Amino acid sequence: MKYIIGRNAWLLALSCCLLVACSSDQSETRTDNGNGSSKGSLLQVAAAYTTNYQTNNQMRAVTEGYSEYNPASDLAIGLFVLPSGTTQSNDAKLIRYNNGVWHSQIMVETLTYTICGYMPKSITSSVLISAGNILLTLSDIPAVIADDVCFVTGIKDGTKDGAGDLLQGNFTYVGNDDNNYICLMMDHLFASVKFNFSVDAEYSTLRTIKLKSMQLQTTKESVAATITLTPNIIGTDPVTEITYSSSGSSSSATFFENAAGIDIKDNAATIRDYSCCFVPGLSNSLTLVCTYDVYDKNGNLIRKDCTATNQLPNLAANRGQFVTINLTVAPTYLYQLSDPDLDNPSITINN
């Protein structure tokens, strides 16, 4: 079996946040700030960064480890913006990414705030500040999910005039009368797996395989996670502890889908762009289900909606690690090329 596991490391210093211009509706909108008034200024996200999945065991260099996060589709981040003295909340505010711009619904005044959060916002959440720690609880997360579930590990004031070093561990922000911008740092809550496809060399001279969907299945339905963060001012990893609690009997997530199908041989690199996340404790309980069509070399559809089910080996992945699995499409038997019922390819994990 061929697979690659990437590991987390936690040293970083990232400078010069890339600011994203805000739309006109952001600068004019005034919404409730959580205490019944509409006073204050809009808090906007200048840029968001996530930790890089690594392909080796080396520690991140001081200036590496996080990359700017610009999702390919709409995405919502949930932020808890707690004024000084507030110790708990289950009311996460919305930061939405749409058409290349971060949009905010959060108002701040000239107060000191503790800011933490997560994505995607659709997850049930709450936060508690206790004994100097931030306890972020995320509930009812699907045990396998196409979204990259992340949580905030640090924030930085990021005004239009620029920002200084962005360091993990800082969750404090002081509001201004105007021009309230922050940069976010986020880390991964789950592990991730992606798949490299190829077609058996001899078989590819006879058939074209078009992949239509990939689905990851597991033996648990959902998970709750409690993340304990210890704020600091020196840029060290704030994660003190993460506990997971799984429940339910099964779940699945479709993380690749194309109605017409994508030719595996000609578009293998495109297919590799897709990955699925899972609870680290379920590394030994994952099944991949692929659906694909088979064509002859004249473009005739031979078999429609073939399904291949593969129990994955133990991926032994921890939080923030990814695994790459190499798969090959090969026929189980092929007697008469004119009889489609005898052409039944399967997908196997490379040894």
Is there a single domain that holds both residue 152 and residue 256?
Answer: no
Is there a single domain that holds both residue 284 and residue 136?
Answer: no
Q: Which domain holds residue 46?
A: 3-188
Question: Is the residue at 9 inside a domain?
Answer: yes
Which residues are 296's β-sheet partners? Answer: 207
DSSP code of residue 128: E
Question: Is the residue at 23 inside a domain?
Answer: yes
Is there a single domain that holds both residue 16 and residue 124?
Answer: yes
Q: Which amino acid is residue 126, in one-letter code?
A: S
Residue-wise pLDDT for 208-266, tens only, equals: 999 999 999 999 999 999 999 999 988 899 999 999 999 999 999 999 999 999 999 88
Is there a single domain that holds both residue 258 and residue 181?
Answer: no
Question: Is the residue at 240 inside a domain?
Answer: no
Last residue of a domain, one of 168, 188, 208: 188
Is there a single domain that holds both residue 183 and residue 195?
Answer: no
**Number of independent structural domains in the chain:** 2
Is there a single domain that holds both residue 177 and residue 293?
Answer: no
Backbone angles phi, psi at 92, to 5 degrees: -80, 135
pTM beyond 0.85, yes or no: no
Which range, of 61-65, 109-113, 268-272, averages the lowest pLDDT?
61-65
Is there a single domain that holds both residue 118 and residue 218?
Answer: no
- Report which secondary-structure segment, H or E, holds 53: none
Which range, of 32-36, 94-98, 203-207, 340-344, averages the lowest pLDDT?
32-36
CB neighbours of 69 closer than 8 A, spacing ≥ 6? 48, 49, 50, 186
Is there a single domain that holds both residue 134 and residue 273?
Answer: no
Which range, of 41-55, 79-93, 103-117, 230-244, averages the lowest pLDDT?
41-55
Is there a single domain that holds both residue 62 and residue 24?
Answer: yes
pLDDT number for residue 21: 32
Is there a single domain that holds both residue 150 and residue 204?
Answer: no
Cα separation, 178 vs 159, whole angstroms:
10
- Residue of 310, 196, 209 whose CA lies nearest to 264: 209
Last residue of a domain, one of 166, 188, 210: 188
Which residues are 311's β-sheet partners? Answer: 287
Is there a single domain that holds both residue 58 and residue 173?
Answer: yes
Is there a single domain that holds both residue 263 and residue 307?
Answer: yes
Looking at every residue in the chain, the average pLDDT score rounds to: 81
Last residue of a domain, one of 172, 188, 204: 188
Question: Is the residue at 229 inside a domain?
Answer: no
Mean pLDDT calculated for residue range 78-93: 96
Mean pLDDT calculated for residue range 53-81: 65
Q: How far apart are the first and last CA of the chain?
A: 4
Question: Is the residue at 241 inside a domain?
Answer: no
Cα separation, 141 vs 222, whole angstroms:
5
Strand 191-199 with 222-229, pairing: unpaired
Q: Give the angle 307-310-315 at the CA atoms, nearest 5°.
A: 145
Cα separation, 36 vs 44, whole angstroms:
20
